Amino acid sequence: MNTFLDGKPLSTRRFSRYLVFGLVVVLAVGTLTARLFYLQITNGTEYAAISTRQRTVDEPIPAPRGYMYDRNGRLLVKNVPTFAVKIRPADLPDDRRDEVVARLAALLRMDPAEINGTIDGNPGSAFDLVRVAQDVDKRTAQLISEAGFDLPGVDVAVEARRQYTDGPLMSQLLGYTGPVSAEQLPDLREKGYQPDDLLGKAGLEAEYETELRGTYGIQTVARDKTGRRTQVLQTVKDAVPGASLRLTIDTTTQREAQKALKWAMDKVGMTRGVVIAMNPQTGEILAMVSLPTYDNNQFARGISQTAYKKLLQNKDKPLLNHAIQAHYAPGSTYKLVTGTGGLADRDINESTKVLTRPFLTLGQTKFYEWNHRGWGPCDIYCGFGHSSDTFFYQVAGMLGSDRLAYWARQYGFGQPTGIDLPGEVGGIVPNNAWKQQTLGAPMFPGETYQAGIGQGYDAVTPLQLINAYAALANGGTLYQPQLVREIVGPDGKVVRPFSRKVLHKLKVKPAVLRVMREAARSTVTLRHTYNLVDMPIKIAGKSGTAEFGTPDAQGRLPYSSFFVGFTPKDPRNGSFENHDSRLIVMAFAHDSRTKGNAATEIVKYFFQLHYGIKKDYRLPENLQRTNFYSND
Amino acid sequence: MGVIRAEPARVTDWAAKSVGAAWRAFDLQLVVYAGLLVATGLVMAYTNSVENGSTPLEAGTTFTRGLMWAGIAAVTFILATAFDYRWLKTLSWPVYALQLGLLLLTLAIGDGIGNSARWITVGPLTFQFSELAKILMIIVLANWLAGRGRRLDSITTILGAGILVAPPLALVMLQPDLGTSLVFGAILVGMLWMSGTSLKWLGAMAAAVIAMVPVAWTYLLRDYQKERLTSFLNTKPDITDSGYQLYQSQIAVGSGGWFGRGLTNGTQAQGDFLPVQSTDFVFSVLAEELGFIGAIVLFLLFVLLLWRVLIAGWRSRDPFGTLFSAGIASMVLFQLFVNVGMVMGIMPITGIPLPFVTHGGASLVSIAIGLGILQSINIRQTRAEW
């Protein structure tokens, strides 16, 4: 009624215009509602998923790596928290890269080129983190962390690094961990590795990588639009810590071995040597020292390129475990093979006398006795005891190269022992087939002579040598040497208990080995090894001197020395008729060139330390340097 | 009986009118809806403050500033209600001068991002005069069109209105503020429509404007404005540049679902994926946190408010009141549609705030003035008038 109050419709108030305006309102709000429905209801799930995807990310939870203990439970390696600086190349703008890298380099006191090299060498994609520095001190880590916006793409992460309790003492055994390389990544990715992962690179760390590593967990992490992680939202799966290893190594024994070896090396001025101790009844390695060594903590902290280069360029190859990763001519220690073969093949028996002479002549070539005199008619005890070359030339001649090689393989030479360490080499056992294949001719008789005394083509690793004598000491079983006694799960339960691993039984009568043990004892009793016989413990063993390399101006060759010795179960009163030895030790003194047998002195000193023998039987005069080929 | 033209009230009128009558004419519903919308804005300010990691009640947060402006707006509203709107007709030309003056002042001494000049800073406060200029424009236009009386069919009415709008629109364009200048256009069209001008000439004007579009595109718009205008057309948004905000706001809206994630749980805003949640994109936060239902309630509040605004115009015996209401309704509807449409990717990105909800003092105070004038119109249409 009040619409047309003034009797004439107000031109400013037309119902139709209001109606249309109202329709426009309905249309507009209707359109907005329809669009809202489309976004929130029709596609809501999809948008929610996008939202979740861009704001959260499933990240792996690192699993603590398993520890290692020695046989008595002494902790050898553990994990300590450390700051690592990482870069996600995708978040590092190209135009700011130089500036950011320069700043980071200044903060880390590193060379920018090194950081650039690391980024460019990134094994993963641009979205994967690259570790540019580890073991960064807390203050630097804080500075970098706080400089967040000035250092885009740079991330400070707390991660665990390995701390090796004894450093260089065990480096050759425990090895170290290092970053995944670009070549490894594709394969490792399938096994759940991350591009910035660390994995075992050497030693037991590498050998037991699967067991030590554990399994990553998964957690959902919130992130903001720059990709920075803001908080952990939930744990999808817990990380499973890696298993721990209990080694066969006895730290005390290892120390004794290292001390004995170091003493001799320092005395002589040698630069390379090995000592191994094991239990012949089980194949357990009690000590294994290879010098020179390195400090695996250097690797754990992230070794600098210069330090690494230095290690690589050292001619004595500190990164190499010379006990297993290099082979050498064994010298007279190899006479064990020749003697055992001769007896087992009945070419000789316990009482067969072989005439030893100043030299033998084969064709035009003279094969000298080492003392150029000989001992007249000699049985095995005399021949082995004095380490007569002419005795074993003749026995080798009777055996022939193929039978000699057969017995060498019986003792485990010519193939890796299978010890649980990576990179073991197999050595060389020459026979006709081998020589035909490699050099295109059969073995010449002279070469067989040489092979019979551990020269010529023979090449063995120190571990193979001690393992062969271990088979002698234990009555004929060749065990696979082992470094890990038990694998213990994260819950403390033993996952894999210790068991001896028999490679094979020697195809030889026990009597033959008993003769050889007595022959080894005669080495000591005949004073071939100087005053070993005077010690209050009973040792049987064999020394060896092996020439290698190229002759000097006077035609003399440098030489190394070996000694392998074992004691009966009761070291003071036992006898070698039995095969109950619990300890066998070998020493290898590379390029010793000493007056006496340096390796014998090392083993002697080891026994002194190990058995707590107060009296000092060491003969320093034996360690005087000479180039005179004095003693075998 | 001729049309009774409302004149400025004489002092004696105040005595003649009972306060009760004025109160009965006061539109309480309008105030309630507007109040609820302001409250919604404050709630969004609160959740934004929380999500940005600040304590909402501390000084200087979006929330406390919102509270302050809401208080100022309430006072302004009461003052505008008390003020006899009829003075505005007398003061039309001074109002126009004030409008142009404020816009010129903004251009002269205003601040803005980059080289723009959009707001004036006085001490800790900033004020965007172009918001107030919208209301002043409505006053000027309402007075002009109301004065045209029976010559509404004439082309001169439309041309005159256009000429009145042109200078302020140009000044706003110079700031440059494309969004506000579009609102000026929308106000003009809405008011012309409601004034009852001839459809013929409205059609002709529409044709002329459409014909102008290519010219404006080529010569008037700056590159970034073009980019913003077109980015919503891309189906696969370029998520690194100007499309980023649009993309993120759509994700925010989309992930709200029926009921939303709940207040302060907006993940898009929290992760800082949505760059300017508190400004023109506030609707995306609302839609994410309160969901479809919450957004529909917001729409409903706007529809109810528009209804009350239009009712005020319908009831006004004074053509000025009808036209003023039409201007306010056009402005609110246009801003609602363009702002929400922008957030949801069906309208181009223009800097148009969502009335009441967007956190901006000028916007809120200006609309409070507008609604206050509307109430002033309501309570001054009593029977005693004629």
**pLDDT at A479 (0 to 100):** 97
Subunit contact A24:B4, Cβ cutoff 8 A: no
Higher-pLDDT residue of B203 and A162 is A162
Is A36 in CB contact (< 8 Å) with chain B? yes
**pLDDT at B274 (0 to 100):** 63
Contacts of A36 in chain B (CB under 8 A): 253, 287, 292, 295-296, 344
Contacts of A17 in chain B (CB under 8 A): 193-194, 196
Measured between CB atoms, which of B3, B267, B310 is closest to A55? B267
Nearest CA in chain A to B311: A18
Is A113 in CB contact (< 8 Å) with chain B? no
**pLDDT at B3 (0 to 100):** 46
pLDDT category of residue B11 using cuts at 50, 70 and 90: very low
Please state which of the ranges A430-439, A525-534, B142-151 shows the lowest mean pLDDT: B142-151
Nearest CA in chain A to B301: A29
Q: Long-range contacts made by residues B225-229, C-beta under 8 angstroms, separation at least 24?
A: B225/B176, B225/B178, B228/B348, B228/B349, B228/B350, B229/B348, B229/B349, B229/B350
Q: Which residues pair with A478 in a beta bridge?
A: A504
The nearest CA of chain A is from the CA of B316 a distance in Å of: 9
Check pLDDT > 80 for residue A605.
yes
Nearest CA in chain B to A1: B315
Contacts of A225 in chain B (CB under 8 A): 271-273
Question: What percentage of residues in chain A have a pLDDT greater than 70?
Answer: 96
The nearest CA of chain A is from the CA of B251 a distance in Å of: 5
Over range B272-301, report the average pLDDT. Answer: 81
CA angle A313, A319, A323 (to 5 degrees): 125
Where are any strands of DSSP class E within B95-185? Answer: 120-122, 125-127
* Tens-place pLDDT, residues B132-189: 899 999 999 998 888 887 777 778 888 888 899 989 998 888 888 888 888 999 999 8
Higher-pLDDT residue of A184 and A311 is A311
Subunit contact B333:A25, Cβ cutoff 8 A: yes
**pLDDT at B52 (0 to 100):** 67
Non-local CB neighbours of B36 within 8 Å, separated by 6+ positions = B301
Sign of the dihedral defined by the CA atoms of residues A608, A609, A611, A616, in that order: positive
User: In angstroms, rounded to a whole number, what is the distance separating the alpha carbons of residues B61 and B47?
Assistant: 11
Nearest CA in chain A to B294: A36
Non-local CB neighbours of A576 within 8 Å, separated by 6+ positions = A514, A517, A518, A520, A521, A538, A540, A568
Subunit contact A31:B322, Cβ cutoff 8 A: no
Measured between CB atoms, which of A21, A32, A51 is closest to B193? A21
Q: Which domains does chain A have, with CATH numbers?
A: 58-243 (3.90.1310.10), 251-623 (3.40.710.10)
* Tens-place pLDDT, residues B109-124: 877 766 677 777 777 7
* Tens-place pLDDT, residues A228-284: 667 777 788 888 999 999 999 999 999 999 999 999 999 999 999 999 999 999 999
**Enclosing H/E stretch for A100:** helix A97-108
Subunit contact B337:A32, Cβ cutoff 8 A: yes
Over range A436-452, report the average pLDDT. Answer: 92
Over range B16-26, report the average pLDDT. Answer: 68
Q: Which residues pair with A154 in a beta bridge?
A: A87
Contacts of A21 in chain B (CB under 8 A): 190, 193-194, 310, 326, 329
Higher-pLDDT residue of B351 and B21 is B351
Measured between CB atoms, which of B196, B251, B346 is closest to A51? B251
Subunit contact A12:B196, Cβ cutoff 8 A: yes
Check pLDDT > 80 for residue A18.
yes
Is A55 in CB contact (< 8 Å) with chain B? yes
Subunit contact A12:B268, Cβ cutoff 8 A: no
**pLDDT at B299 (0 to 100):** 94
Rounded to the nearest 10 degrees, the angle between the axes of helix A112-120 and helix A97-108 is: 120
pLDDT category of residue A125 using cuts at 50, 70 and 90: confident
Check pLDDT > 60 for residue A533.
yes
User: In angstroms, rounded to a whole number, what is the distance separating the alpha carbons of residues A194 and A189?
Assistant: 7
**pLDDT at B267 (0 to 100):** 64
**pLDDT at A448 (0 to 100):** 93
Is A19 in CB contact (< 8 Å) with chain B? no
Subunit contact A224:B287, Cβ cutoff 8 A: no
Sign of the dihedral defined by the CA atoms of residues A108, A114, A117, A122, in that order: negative
* Tens-place pLDDT, residues B219-267: 777 776 676 666 656 555 444 555 667 777 788 888 888 888 777 766 6
* Tens-place pLDDT, residues A365-377: 999 999 899 999 9
The nearest CA of chain B is from the CA of A30 a distance in Å of: 9
Subunit contact B253:A43, Cβ cutoff 8 A: no
H helices of A121-268, in order, are 138-146, 171-174, 185-190, 203-207, 209-213, 251-268
Residue A335 and residue A395 in contact, taking contact as beta carbons nearer than 8 Å: no
Can you read off the two tokens belonging to residue A565?
A: 């010795």
Q: What is the mean pLDDT of chain B?
A: 80
Amino acid at A548: F
Q: What is the mean pLDDT of chain A?
A: 89
CA distances from B137 to A131, B100, B106 (A): 63, 10, 16
Check pLDDT > 70 for residue A224.
no
Subunit contact A51:B253, Cβ cutoff 8 A: no
Subunit contact B251:A50, Cβ cutoff 8 A: yes
> What is the β-pairing status of strands A229-237 and A583-589?
unpaired
Residue A412 and residue A397 in contact, taking contact as beta carbons nearer than 8 Å: no
Subunit contact A36:B287, Cβ cutoff 8 A: yes
Can you read off the two tokens belonging to residue A468?
A: 């062969």
Measured between CB atoms, which of A20, A29, A224 is closest to B303? A29
How is A34-90 classified by DSSP, letter by letter? HHHHIIIIISHHHHHHHHHHHHEEEEEEPPPPP-EE-TT--EEEEEEEEEEEEE-GG
Subunit contact A31:B341, Cβ cutoff 8 A: yes
The nearest CA of chain A is from the CA of B302 a distance in Å of: 9
* Tens-place pLDDT, residues B44-85: 888 877 776 667 677 677 788 888 889 999 999 999 998 888
pLDDT category of residue A334 using cuts at 50, 70 and 90: very high
Contacts of A31 in chain B (CB under 8 A): 337, 341, 346
Over range A107-121, report the average pLDDT. Answer: 85
Question: What percentage of residues in chain A have a pLDDT greater than 90?
Answer: 64
Over range A607-628, report the average pLDDT. Answer: 90
The nearest CA of chain A is from the CA of B281 a distance in Å of: 15
Contacts of B329 in chain A (CB under 8 A): 21
**pLDDT at B386 (0 to 100):** 37
Check pLDDT > 90 for residue A494.
yes
**pLDDT at A228 (0 to 100):** 65
User: In angstroms, rounded to a whole number, what is the distance separating the alpha carbons of residues A129 and A90?
Assistant: 9
Which residue do the tokens 């690179």 mark? A201
User: In angstroms, rounded to a whole number, what is the distance separating the alpha carbons of residues A94 and A363?
Assistant: 77
Check pLDDT > 70 for residue A77.
yes
Q: What's chain B's Rg over C-alpha atoms?
A: 21
In angstroms, the first-to-last Cα distance of chain A is 136
Check pLDDT > 50 for residue A3.
no
Nearest CA in chain A to B250: A39
Is A222 in CB contact (< 8 Å) with chain B? yes
Over range B281-287, report the average pLDDT. Answer: 85
Subunit contact B258:A41, Cβ cutoff 8 A: yes
Measured between CB atoms, which of B190, B292, B323 is closest to A40? B292
Mutate which: B253, B259, B352, vs A, most A CBs within 10 A: B253
pTM: 0.67
**pLDDT at A401 (0 to 100):** 93
- A268-301 in b/e form (b: 16+ CB < 10 A) is bebebbbbbbbbbbbbbbbbbbbbbbbbbbbbbb
Subunit contact A18:B287, Cβ cutoff 8 A: no
